[in-house]
Structure 1
Amino acid sequence: MKFFNNHYVLYGLAFSLFLGLTFYIAIFPAIENQKINNALPPQTKMLSAEEKAGKAVYIENGCVGCHTQQVRNVEMDNIFGKRPSIPADFATNKRTDFWRNTANLMGTQRTGPDLTNIGERQPSDQWHYIHLYQPRVAVAQSVMPAYPYLFIEKDEVQAGDIEVKIPEKFLKNKNKKVVASDKAIFLVAYLKSLKQRDFTGNYVPPFLYKSQKKEPKSGGDSQLPDGAELYAVNCASCHQPDGNGVAGAFPPLANSPVVNGGDLELIVTIIMKGYDPRPEFAVMPPVGQSAQFTPEMVTAIINHEKSSWGNNAKKVTVEEVKILMDKIQK
């Protein structure tokens, strides 16, 4: 009974029990979980000083309000990443300082697309600069606000400047050159650093609610996917809906010698693996590989391009495309 009469002993014992349970139930398991389940994926790279500055610009401009950085484990998110996001993907986030936690950039809504893997989906610097200056240049229906204040207008481009090729109709002053500011350069560097690392393990969840996709049979165009729709989703943001591209940034497909030419292997390679031999144009990413195009999808896109915007080239068959896809993927 003396035990209950001595409040120092009573409360001291209760506090010790609480402290012991806290370490045993919460702290020690959390440390172990951090070591095992939240270990950094292979090939993870820490942000460079430029990319960190770009992350600050991303936060400063409220990009997290419209863009997420989390791939959910549902099939519809497969377009944003190769696998669902796991805690280890966010293990590089560190506290800003003792008093402030790292800003959470996972986001809560998708007014714009998820950016988890945007560095792989769109590796072109020029595309990002154009998109930031005026999103409607890249995507006509975009509701994203423009950020022209991240750019500088100059009479002449100087050494070291990064000129941004903006169509005249979107320029405020057609006699000026648009040059990326340091903030724009930092922001693009950060966006290009967003790449989902390859990772396997028992705690990587699978994509759920997969829809049953019927593979089209080879044959006429009526049995292929909608080439115009595939083009609109995967190609139009650079080459434009009218196929005219953007001067100095993305080449036109209308009256293109590549599209109208007879080198089918070149066209298939460009679609699947990207293209970067031309200093006058931006780098084309491996759209086909990233979107996991099938031979039917590639055939539909090629035939759409060969028969649109004044092009009148010979259409191709699924069999021809499949042979070349097997060849270039070996």
Structure 2
Amino acid sequence: MFNFHRNHKVLVIMSVGGFLLLSILIGVVPAYQMQNTEPLPNQEPLTELERTGLNIYISEGCVACHSQQVRNIEMDKVWGNRPSMPSDYYYTKKRLDIWRQSPSLLGSERTGPDLTNVGLRQPIADWHLLHLYNPRTVVSESIMPAYPWLFEIKNSDKLTDDDKVVPVPEQFFNTPGKKVVAGEGAAALVAYLQSLKQPEIPGEMHKPFIPAREKSPLTANERPDPDNAGKSINRPDGKQIYNSTCAACHQPTGKGITGAFPPLTGSQIVNNEDPTMLIKIILQGYDARTDYGVMPGFADQLTDAEIAAITTHERSSWGNDAPAVTVEQVTKVRDEVMNAQTP
């Protein structure tokens, strides 16, 4: 019917027609459907600084290696509490200018981890700054490129109160009298990354995270409850929770990062027979050492059972030898902390 080899006009018309059809189906129709999308009730719009960081995120090509989409499959559950939906992108679909639509942030590659919930997974600004300056400072096996042009090198005697000094370990920056300072671009990009927190949906979700997979009645981390025949109790895996929550800063070896995050190996707080201080630090955070970055609290992110599992793992690993921590101990400390905060 169509002789593409002899009639170049037909070839051109079909090529242009196919291009237009695909453009409408892939670009125009989804954009039209998104016009009816509304933000979630708990969703916050981007601040001016965070939007500047978003533009830097795009211009530096971060989307080439990082996705921002949680799929409803088992392997994606680590990236968010639920699958992504159109409303999640409501505040990032703003046009760049009259000619350019905002780039898609969903991404198609995960050379690096998904960033949908990175603001909750890694809320520490110093960690992000170190990661941008040289990713190997916090993740030794990282293949991510460094972004030193987002930082400045300043003389120590020329620093001002507004300068954000990055605690780069000596093996990565050892120039006497000089300090690495976060530039405006680095500060904006970190602000954007910290804003990436998956909004919660009000009420209970009617569909499970992975509809096609039913939860086993007895998982690998559950054991029979000796006090209740026929029932089971959930025992969280302390090592797994530590690796997903704490290891980015304190490292999988517990040695921390010199000048940035303190070591847990041999720590008096970790090895103290009374774990109260260690539990309080995990619940409330810690900002008492000028030599290290600020640690946020995890009271809203971790259950008492998970904190008990983490502290027990820390107190029994890397040469540490201290008694295990019970859920009851964590609950008692949490109640004391909450009562102290109540006016």
Do they superpose with TM above 0.5? yes
CA deviation digits over 1:227-270, x for unaligned, max 9?
44443333221012332322443222123222122443443343
Question: 1:227 and 1:207 mapped to 2: Cα distance?
Answer: 23
Q: 2:8: which partner in 1?
A: none
Q: 1:196: which partner in 2?
A: 198
Q: Do the aligned partners of residues 323 and 259 (structure 1) sit closer, same or farther apart at CA in structure 2, a change above 3 Å counting?
A: same
| Secondary structure of the structure 2 residue equivalent to 1:169 | coil
Question: 1:140 and 1:148 mapped to 2: Cα distance?
Answer: 17
| Secondary structure of the structure 1 residue equivalent to 2:181 | strand
Q: Indicate conservation of the 8 Å contact 1:50/1:190, yes or no.
A: yes
Q: Do the aligned partners of residues 204 and 315 (structure 1) sit closer, same or farther apart at CA in structure 2, a change above 3 Å counting?
A: closer
Q: 2:159: which partner in 1?
A: 158
Query: How far is the alpha carbon of 1:146 from its aligned partner?
Result: 1.6
CA deviation digits over 1:128-171, x for unaligned, max 9?
10111121221222222222222112221511111000111112
Any gaps of 5 or more consecutive residues in structure 1?
A: 1-25
Q: 1:10: which partner in 2?
A: none
Question: 1:288 and 1:134 mapped to 2: Cα distance?
Answer: 30
Question: 1:287 and 1:239 mapped to 2: Cα distance?
Answer: 15
Q: Indicate conservation of the 8 Å contact 2:287/2:293, yes or no.
A: no
Q: Indicate conservation of the 8 Å contact 1:163/1:178, yes or no.
A: yes
Query: How far is the alpha carbon of 1:179 from its aligned partner?
Result: 0.8
Q: 2:171: which partner in 1?
A: 169
2:322 maps to 1:313: yes
Q: 1:4: which partner in 2?
A: none
Q: Equivalent residues in 2 for 1:45-84 (5 A)?
A: 45-84=44-83
Query: How far is the alpha carbon of 1:173 from its aligned partner?
Result: 3.6
Q: 1:187: which partner in 2?
A: 189
Q: Do the aligned partners of residues 276 and 204 (structure 1) sit closer, same or farther apart at CA in structure 2, a change above 3 Å counting?
A: farther
Q: Do the aligned partners of residues 183 and 82 (structure 1) sit closer, same or farther apart at CA in structure 2, a change above 3 Å counting?
A: same
Question: 2:270 and 2:139 mapped to 1: Cα distance?
Answer: 22
Question: 2:132 and 2:258 mapped to 1: Cα distance?
Answer: 17
Q: Indicate conservation of the 8 Å contact 2:56/2:189, yes or no.
A: yes
CA deviation digits over 1:257-311, x for unaligned, max 9?
221224434433433x350342623333455753x5572x544432332233443
Q: Indicate conservation of the 8 Å contact 2:53/2:185, yes or no.
A: yes
How many residues were matched structurally? 294
Question: 1:79 and 1:170 mapped to 2: Cα distance?
Answer: 31
Q: 1:256: which partner in 2?
A: 267
**Structure number with higher relative contact order (C-alpha < 8 Å, ≥ 6 residues apart):** 1
Q: Indicate conservation of the 8 Å contact 1:75/1:210, yes or no.
A: no
Q: Indicate conservation of the 8 Å contact 1:162/1:180, yes or no.
A: yes
Q: Equivalent residues in 2 for 1:1-330 (5 A)?
A: 34-35=35-36, 38-92=37-91, 93-156=93-156, 158-159=159-160, 160-171=162-173, 173=175, 175-200=177-202, 206-208=208-210, 209=213, 212=216, 213-217=219-223, 227-271=238-282, 273-278=283-288, 280=290, 281-287=292-298, 289-290=300-301, 295=305, 297-317=306-326, 320-321=329-330
CA deviation digits over 1:39-77, x for unaligned, max 9?
111132222221111111111111101111111122332
Q: Indicate conservation of the 8 Å contact 1:138/1:238, yes or no.
A: yes
Question: 2:326 and 2:304 mapped to 1: Cα distance?
Answer: 13
Question: 2:136 and 2:206 mapped to 1: Cα distance?
Answer: 37
Q: Do the aligned partners of residues 88 and 168 (structure 1) sit closer, same or farther apart at CA in structure 2, a change above 3 Å counting?
A: same
Query: How far is the alpha carbon of 1:106 from its aligned partner?
Result: 1.1
Please identify which structure carries the higher helix content. 1
Q: Indicate conservation of the 8 Å contact 2:68/2:106, yes or no.
A: yes
Question: 2:204 and 2:313 mapped to 1: Cα distance?
Answer: 42
Question: 1:236 and 1:88 mapped to 2: Cα distance?
Answer: 32
| Secondary structure of the structure 1 residue equivalent to 2:69 | coil
Task: Tell me whether 185-194 or 259-268 shows the greater mean CA deviation.
Answer: 259-268
Letter aligned with residue 314 of structure 1: P
TM-score computed with the length of structure 2 as normaliser? 0.74
Q: Indicate conservation of the 8 Å contact 2:304/2:330, yes or no.
A: no
| Secondary structure of the structure 1 residue equivalent to 2:41 | coil
